[in-house]
Amino acid sequence: MTDGLRVEIDGPVATLTLDRPAALNALTIGVKVALRTALESIAGDPAVRAVILTGAGRAFCAGQDLAERDEPDAAPLDVEVRERYNPIIRALRSMGQPVIAAVNGVAAGAGASLAFACDLRIAAEEARFVLAFGRIGLVPDSGATWFLPRLVGPAKAAELALVGDAVDAAEALRLGLVSSVVPGDQLLAEARAMADRLAEGAPLALSLTKGALERSLTIDLDIALEDEARLQGIAGASADHAEGLAAFREKRQPRFSGR
Ligand code: T3D
List, for residues 163-216, the tens digit of each pLDDT value. 999 999 999 999 999 999 999 999 999 999 999 999 999 999 999 999 999 999
How far, in Å, is the centroid of ligand 1 from the Cα of 237? 49
pLDDT at 72 (0 to 100): 86
180 close to 190: Cβ distance less than 8 angstroms: yes
Candidates 115, 120, 144; CA nearest to 209 is 120
The residue whose C-alpha atom lies closest to atom 38 belonging to ligand 1 is 23
Cα–Cα distance measured from residue 107 to residue 101, given in angstroms and rounded to the nearest whole number: 11
pLDDT at 255 (0 to 100): 95
Mutation pick for ligand 1 pocket among 18, 19, 24, 31 (CB with most ligand atoms within 8 Å): 24
In the three-class reduction of DSSP (H, G, I as helix; E, B as strand; rest coil), residue 32 is classed as helix
93 close to 131: Cβ distance less than 8 angstroms: no
Burial category of 76 from C-beta neighbours within 10 Å (exposed 0-12, middle 13-18, buried 19 and up): exposed
pTM reported for the whole predicted model: 0.97
Cα–Cα distance measured from residue 192 to residue 100, given in angstroms and rounded to the nearest whole number: 9
205 close to 197: Cβ distance less than 8 angstroms: no
Nearest ligand 1 atom to alpha carbon 24: 38
pLDDT at 2 (0 to 100): 66
Nearest ligand 1 atom to alpha carbon 141: 7
Ligand 1 site residues (CB inside 6 A) read: 23-24, 26, 62-67, 69, 77, 80-81, 106, 108-110, 130, 132-133, 136, 138, 141
Cα–Cα distance measured from residue 30 to residue 75, given in angstroms and rounded to the nearest whole number: 14
Q: Which residues of the chain have pLDDT under 70?
A: 1-2
pLDDT at 3 (0 to 100): 78
Query: CB under 8 Å to 58, separation ≥6 — which residues?
Result: 21, 24, 104, 105, 106, 126
The residue whose C-alpha atom lies closest to atom 15 belonging to ligand 1 is 132
The residue whose C-alpha atom lies closest to atom 53 belonging to ligand 1 is 23
- Calculate the alpha carbon distances from 232 to 50, 206, 211 in Å: 22, 12, 13
CB atoms within 10 A of CB 234: 12
